Chain A
Amino acid sequence: MGIISRGFSGRRAASDVKLPPGQYLTKDFPVLSAGPTPRVPLETWEFTIADGKNVVQRWDWNAFRALPSETPTVDIHCVTRWSKLATTWEGVSLDTLFANVKTDASYVTVESYGDYTTNLPLKDLMGGQAWVAFRFDGKDLAPEHGGPARLLVPHLYFWKSAKWVHGVTLMRDDKPGFWESLGYNNYGDPWKEQRYWE
């Protein structure tokens, strides 16, 4: 550990709300990114569900926005230690998107415009735990925060909530994504502080 810097505490605000271990509360919404912001015109945007190489469901923007949406209020936790509570979103539940999908696959790889991927068990996307979100805090989701649409799966560290989401591929074998393949935990439960490889 470094020498203590007199009077330095960083950006953190003390809080009396219960946060996952090692997290601090922020009022900002930091923008973290592994690459340039993709510019995705709505005319060409689509969201697909693929089983291996077969696309089994596809929506363009109009079809996607015609689906019933929800307005979840959730806490989000970033592996870089900031947490933001009671964030408000509008999005389509993954339960809605998977309504007509039958599969025996256990895992998904989430793909984004650009080259970002992340992986998780399929069951973590189901049961009211995940959305494809297109509005944040009452406004259209800004590109730097993942707009036109991002995955929102708040029970896991926020690197799993892939920005600029393009689709999910059902997988029989789990395949570590962009950060999971380089030292970040394959699952990422903030309450168990699963930040890194064990």
Chain B
Amino acid sequence: MTWRVGTIVSVHDETRTARSITLDVPDWPGHLAGQHVDVRLTAPDGYSAARSYSIASAPSDIKRFEITVERLADGEVSPYLTQEVAVGDPLEVRGPIGGWFVWHPEQTEPIQLIAGGSGLVPLMAMMRARAAVHSMMPFRLLYSVREPDAILYADDLRALAAANDGTAITYAYTRVAPKDWARPPARVDAALIAQATWPASQSPTCYVCGPTPFVESIATLLTAAGNAPDRIRTERFGATGDVR
């Protein structure tokens, strides 16, 4: 898999700290929902840094896709991508990468998506993929997020939930909840898993994405709730998502 040079065709700030970047890549082979790309930046003296970012857009035939980048306070690459890049800039990417943390429209079992913060990105690609093919497959999303302002793709999520055959979305606020929210701010726990996710008896395939501690915690809760380990697919992000 080689590095390709794409061109930034649009940027859109999703929140105060997250930006979506749309790229045209001339010989892009297309992608599956859940896959990611590596992005590489190179300084004039040859120093380079690379990071992985999930593709947020649905698979399609056009040679264009979108990534969403969360700015980390002490990051090396994310401040550049969220604050410096401009439409028209080239960007080196490698991918699409990953064949396990992927949803295919041919899958017929119930799908449980569980996102921690910017772990929503690859799961959003799955929900957009489902919508693009007008799939009726049963999807649920449990989205753990610090506070309402941190919600990514807020409008799109509302639209997906409201659609007739929509995905059921449960928000779990961990720091600040909206006024009059029934559940006080708290991490996802066994009670919320029991209340908001597909019962294990339905044999869902679960996709869990977020920071490593979040993923470990959720995987443990899902297993305790009766889901078999091979029904739980995970993708860990880190503040240090370094690639070479």
Q: How far is the CB of B177 from chain A (nearest CB, A)?
A: 33
Q: Are A1 and B46 in contact (CB under 8 A)?
A: yes
Interface hits, B45-102 → A, CB 8 Å = 46-49, 74, 76, 80, 84, 89-92
Say yes or no: B42 contacts A3, CB within 8 Å: yes
Total contacting residues, chain B, CB less than 8 A: 19
Q: Is the CB of A10 within 8 A of B3?
A: no
* A1 contact set on B, CB distance < 8 A: 42, 46, 48
Q: From B44, which residue of chain A is reached at the shortest CB distance?
A: A4
Q: How far is the CA of A69 from the CA of B38 in the complex (A)?
A: 47
Question: Which partner residue on chain A sits nearest B88 by CB separation?
Answer: A6
* Bitwise interface map of A from 1 to 26 toward B, beta carbon under 8 Å scored 1, else 0: 11111111111100000000000000
The answer to whether A2 and B48 touch (CB under 8 A), given A7-B80, A7-B84, A10-B43, is yes
Q: A1-B42, A2-B40 are in contact. Are A10 and B92 (CB under 8 A)?
A: no
Q: Does B9 contact A (CB under 8 A)?
A: no
The answer on a CB contact under 8 Å between B90 and A3 is yes
Which residues of B from 87 to 121 have beta carbons under 8 Å from A? 89-92
- Known contacts: A2-B92, A3-B5. The answer to whether A10 contacts B47 by CB under 8 A is yes
Q: Is the CB of A5 within 8 A of B5?
A: no
Determine whether B176 belongs to the interface, using a CB cutoff of 8 Å to chain A.
Answer: no
Q: How far is B3's CA from A2's CA once the two chains are assembled, in angstroms?
A: 8
Q: Which residues of B contact A9 (CB under 8 A)?
A: 43-44, 47
Chain A residues in 8 Å Cβ range of B44: 4, 9
Interface range, A side = 10 to 19
Complex formed: what's the CA distance from A81 to B48 in Å?
12
Q: When each residue 79-115 of chain A gets 1 if its CB lies under 8 Å from chain B and 0 otherwise, what string results?
A: 0010000000000000000000000000000000000
Set of chain A residues within 8 Å of B48, measured between Cβ atoms: 1-2
The 0/1 profile, CB within 8 Å of B marked 1, for residues 118-135 of chain A is 000000000000000000
B161 at interface by CB-CB < 8 Å: no
Q: Is the interface of A mostly helix, strand, loop or mixed?
A: loop
A72 to chain B, nearest CB (A): 28
Cα A2 to Cα B94 in complex, Å, equals 12
In the bound complex, do residue B76 and residue A11 qualify as a contact, i.e. CB atoms below 8 Å apart? yes
Residues in A neighbouring B89, C-beta threshold 8 A: 5-6
Whether a CB of chain A sits under 8 angstroms from the CB of B150 is: no
Q: Within the assembled complex, what's the spacing in Å between the Cα atoms of A81 and B49?
A: 12
Closest to B42 in A: A2
Give the distance to chain A from B42, nearest Cβ to Cβ, in Å: 4
Is B76 in contact with A5, judged by CB distance below 8 angstroms? no
- What chain A residues lie within 8 Å of B46 (beta carbons)? 1
Q: Tell me if B131 is interfacial: C-beta within 8 Å of chain A.
A: no
Given contacts A8-B43, A10-B43, A81-B47, 15 further A-B contacts (CB under 8 A): A1-B46, A2-B40, A2-B92, A3-B42, A3-B90, A3-B92, A5-B80, A5-B92, A6-B84, A7-B80, A7-B84, A8-B41, A8-B80, A8-B84, A10-B76
24 A-B pairs within 8 Å (CB atoms) are namely A1-B42, A1-B46, A1-B48, A2-B40, A2-B42, A2-B48, A3-B5, A3-B42, A3-B90, A4-B44, A5-B41, A5-B42, A5-B80, A5-B92, A6-B89, A7-B80, A7-B84, A8-B42, A8-B80, A8-B84, A9-B43, A11-B76, A12-B47, A28-B74
